[in-house]
Amino acid sequence: MGEVYTADRSLAGKLRRRIVRRFHRKPLAKGPDAPMVSFTFDDAPLTSAVAGAALLETRGLAGTYYVSAGLAGQDAPMGVCAEAVDYQRLARAGHEIACHTYSHLDCGRASGQAAFDDTSRNAAALADWGLPEAQNFAYPYGEVSAGPKKTLIKRFATLRALHHGVIEQGTDLAQAPAVGVEGPDGEAVARKWLAEAKARKAWLILYTHDVRPDPSPWGCTPETLARLIDTAVADGFQVVTVREAMRRLAA
C-alpha cells in the first residue's frame, strides 16, 4: 500500500460489478423504522483511530473500523495505519472492528477461495490481538466478483461495497451500498445522502479513510466529519455501528 494500487475501473470492471449485483444476493428482510447512519473508516489510518474516534466518542457514539491487519503500522497513501494497541483501545471504547481482508486483497480479481483464505488470516490476526470476531466486511477498493461474494456472505452479516445508495427492505447485504466522505465534494455528497436516508427512513453507511487537516484524496478533515455527525444527530438519526444496525434490524 506504499504505492497507490489501481483497481479495475475499466468498462469491463464496471459491468462486472453491476452484473454481480444480480447474483448471490442476501436481501434485507425488514428495513429500519427510523433513519440510521453508520460512520465507518476503511484501512484504519492512525488519524481515523485517534481523531475520528474522538469526534464520535465525545458525542457518546461509536464507529466501525474495517481493518486489514497486514497494513498495521505501515505507511499507506492515506497515512500510517493503526496498530494492534490502537484497535484494542477502539474496541474497549465500543467501536466495531470489522474485516477488510488481511492483505487488502482486490476481491474483483481474486477467487472465492483466495478471499476466504485472506479473511481467515485476518481473523486469526485479530484474534491474536484479543479482538472480538469480526461480523461485517468491506470489499477493499469496493471491488467484487462472484466467487468472493458467494463465499464471504456465508461468513459475514454484511459485505459492504462502494456504489451509492441507502439500505432498506430488499437491499442486498452481500453488496451493500455506501457513500464516501472523501475529496472536495465529499461533505456535499454525504449531506445529499443523509437527506435521502432521512426522507426514506433508511440506513446510510458513510465511509472515509484518514481524518486530518490535510487529508488524502480518500479522507476528510475533522471539521467535515464533526459537521456530518452533528447534522445526523440533529436530524434524528440513530448513529450506530454496522454491527449494532444489524442487531436492531434482526430484532
pLDDT of residue 1: 44
Other Cβ atoms less than 10 A from the Cβ of 116: the count is 17
- Give me the helix-helix angle, 186-200 and 222-234, nearest 10°: 10
- Measured CA to CA in angstroms, residue 41 lies from 21, 23, 95, 209, 211 at distances of 23, 27, 11, 5, 9
Residue 2 lies in a domain: no
Q: What are phi and psi of 14, to 5 degrees?
A: -65, -40
Extract the C-alpha cell encoding 89: 483501545
User: Which residues make Cβ contacts (< 8 Å) with residue 169, sequence separation at least 6?
Assistant: 27, 28, 29, 30, 31
Identity at 132, one-letter amino acid code? P
| pLDDT for res 6 | 61
CATH number of the domain residue 215 falls in: 3.20.20.370
Which structural domain range is residue 102 located in?
Answer: 11-250
Q: What is the pLDDT of residue 2?
A: 42
Largest CA distance in the chain: 44
Number of domains in the chain: 1
**217 within some domain:** yes
- Provide the CA 5 distance to its chain's centre, in angstroms: 18
- Is residue 241 domain-resident? yes
CB atoms within 10 A of CB 204: 27
Handedness of CA 81, 83, 89, 93 (dihedral sign): positive
162 assigned to some structural domain: yes
Residues 73-98: b if buried by 16+ CB within 10 A, e if exposed: eeebbbbebbbbebbeebbeeebbbb
Q: Is the entire prediction scored with pTM above 0.85?
A: yes
Contact 81, 43 (CB under 8 A): yes
- How far, rounded to the nearest angstrom, does the alpha carbon of residue 121 sit from its chain's CA centroid? 19
Q: What angle do CA 100, 145, 243 make, to 5 degrees?
A: 35
Question: Is 3 a domain residue?
Answer: no
Q: Each residue's pLDDT tens digit in the chain (251 positions)? A: 444 556 666 766 667 777 877 889 999 999 999 999 999 999 999 999 999 999 999 999 999 999 999 999 999 999 999 999 999 999 999 999 999 999 999 999 999 999 999 999 999 999 999 999 999 999 999 999 999 999 999 999 999 999 999 999 999 999 999 999 999 999 999 999 999 999 999 999 999 999 999 999 999 999 999 999 999 999 999 999 999 999 999 96
The pLDDT, as a whole number, for residue 18 is 78
Query: Which cell numbers in the block locate residue 227?
Result: 459537521
Decide if 164 is inside a domain.
Answer: yes
Give a yes or no: residue 4 inside a domain.
no
Note the helical H segments in the chain.
Answer: 11-20, 46-47, 53-57, 84-92, 112-128, 146-152, 186-200, 222-234, 242-250
Q: Tell whether 1 is covered by a domain.
A: no
